[in-house]
Amino acid sequence: MEYRTLGASGCAVSELALGTMTFGHETDEAGAHAQLDRFVEAGGTLVDTADVYTAGASEEIVGRWLASRPADVTDRVVLATKGRFPMGEDPNGAGLSRRHLHRALDASLRRLGVETVDLYQAHAWDPLTPIEETLRFLDDAVRQGKIHYIGLSNFTGWQLQKTVDVADFRGLARPVTLQPQYSLLSREIEWEITPACASEGLGLLPWSPLGGGWLTGKYRRDARPAGATRLGENPERGVEAYDRRGGVARTWAVVDEVRAVAEERGVSMAQVALAWVRDRPAVTSVILGARTVEQLGWRGREERRPGGTENGRRGAPKAPAAPRASSSGPTCGCRHPPRGRSRPGGRPGSRSTRPCRARPCACSCRTSVRRSTRRASGRRPRNAGRP
């Protein structure tokens, strides 16, 4: 397992995160605890949940796991949760208002059995609440020690930019991450969201990196899903519904291409799809979701990129080691500037510490490329000093 900074923060997290939306619904408590055990044994640290997952049961299951494991195990966990959606019939029981988030955060802390959550995320934009009200509450929660970092989820490009601008203008704690849907089948965030995150130092935490199972190769053109799979049980389920995606020619073109690459490299289709998402610009950690510990164990072995080993067996041959880049420039023939050097297009007067993310490359910048986008130290916040 490798680690990256949580956006522009100094907190390091595993490049694979464990999503817990199945806990208490598709996965019982024993199975959920087994997944958490397997995940941390593999070196995973980032665990993502939300108050609305199974009406709070997911947080309760995670909380009981935290309470039942030794501190040397749980201290490594970077815990993330979310608030925004309704948990009852109260007219003030939803949204990003100060009133709702105050109660939602306290309830999440009780269910998780902790005093502080590492990353608290606004689960979606609220058109009825001024974003300044939301940010002021989150800033207060940071100052009170209830949360360490602020994150966003499912925001559009303009919503993300407005949130960051208001936080900077008012001198409030700014978000460090954004959770979007992102996979080879869902790339719309590349138009505006990814550039905005890279510019403002937010790390991406993509969910559904396997396209709801489509990129594992288990669905076929000539046969509707059947059996003990999500679409086998409900072909019209969610954004990955069979007729919705299966009726699009591009879906099968992408699936065929992923299958061809996987066969050429001697790895699984899921490995190819995960490696692609993991190496996209601004990505901090990729959220995996599993119904069984066997599925998670299989994915845990996907930590190696195509060409490594799998299940302890030798896969496709590894590429030969390339010479390390010298201080005067790389020797592998790529166009990456050495780490810490100014990059073209950077802000005037700043010395960027952000590594280049172009591919392919076999030079020493492969190490630095796994670090999330970071802001240059000492940079004056936008509009600082204004009233």
Return the active site residues.
53
Instruction: Tell me whether residue 143 is exposed, middle or buried, using C-beta atoms within 10 angstroms of its C-beta: 0 to 12, 13 to 18, 19 or more.
Output: exposed
Residues 6+ apart with CB under 8 A from 44: 1, 14, 16, 17, 18, 300
Token couple for 24: 């208490």
DSSP string of 113-163, one letter each residue: T-S-EEEEEE-S--TTS-HHHHHHHHHHHHHTTSEEEEEEES--HHHHHHH
Q: Is the peptide bond between 320 and the residue preceding it cis, with omega within 30 degrees of 0?
A: no
Across-strand partners of 78? Answer: 46
* C-alpha span between 305 and 301 (Å, rounded): 10
CA distances from 22 to 19, 25, 31, 286, 288 (A): 8, 5, 10, 16, 11
CA distances from 117 to 67, 94, 172, 222, 288 (A): 14, 20, 18, 46, 20
Given the structure tokens 């790895």, which residue do they identify? 267
Three-state DSSP state, 16: strand
Residues 6+ apart with CB under 8 A from 106: none
Token couple for 244: 């919705």
Strands 16-19 and 46-48: parallel
Q: Find the angle CA(195)-CA(200)-CA(202) to the nearest 5 degrees.
A: 85
